[in-house]
């Protein structure tokens, strides 16, 4: 099966894709479960999101900066393993195709 391309998404589009419990999970990860190599561990004060992507596997990739040291961080969230999310993501891709 051909994989769809990685596309950039915004906060509004992310909100449409995630169910309530997935939103909570997302917020929780952003708040204190992103690894920062400069801090040498999980970010203590969370991160500021700069960019978000829907990957070729329909996972969410977040790129941002650590609120403690300002270092660059990235975190993959494997929502694509959730079949509902995967299907929703494919519908979303179709809806923005043109």
Contact 58, 1 (CB under 8 A): no
Question: Which of 3-11, 19-27, 34-42, 49-57 is the region at the interface with Zn ion (rule: CB under 5 A)?
Answer: 34-42
Question: Which of 23-31, 51-59, 67-75, 77-85 is the region at the interface with Zn ion (rule: CB under 5 A)?
Answer: 67-75
| 4: number of Cβ within 10 Å | 15
Identified binder of Zn ion from the candidate list 7, 29, 31, 39, rule CB under 5 A: 39
Identified binder of Zn ion from the candidate list 14, 17, 34, 36, rule CB under 5 A: 36
Contact status: 71 vs Zn ion (CB under 5 A): yes
In terms of DSSP H, where are the helices of 1-98? 11-17, 20-32, 83-95
End-to-end CA distance of the chain: 22
* Contacts with Zn ion, residue ranges (CB under 5 A): 36, 38-39, 66, 68-69, 71
């Amino acid at each position: 099966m051909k994989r769809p391309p990685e596309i950039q998404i915004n906060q509004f589009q992310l909100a449409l894709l995630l169910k309530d419990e997935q939103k909570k999970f997302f917020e929780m990860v952003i708040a204190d479960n992103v690894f920062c190599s400069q801090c040498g561990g999980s970010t203590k004060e969370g991160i500021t999101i700069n960019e978000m992507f829907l990957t070729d596997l329909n996972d969410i990739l977040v790129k941002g900066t650590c609120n403690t040291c300002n270092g660059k961080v990235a975190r993959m969230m494997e929502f694509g393993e959730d079949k509902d999310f995967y299907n929703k993501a494919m519908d979303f891709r179709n809806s923005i195709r043109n």
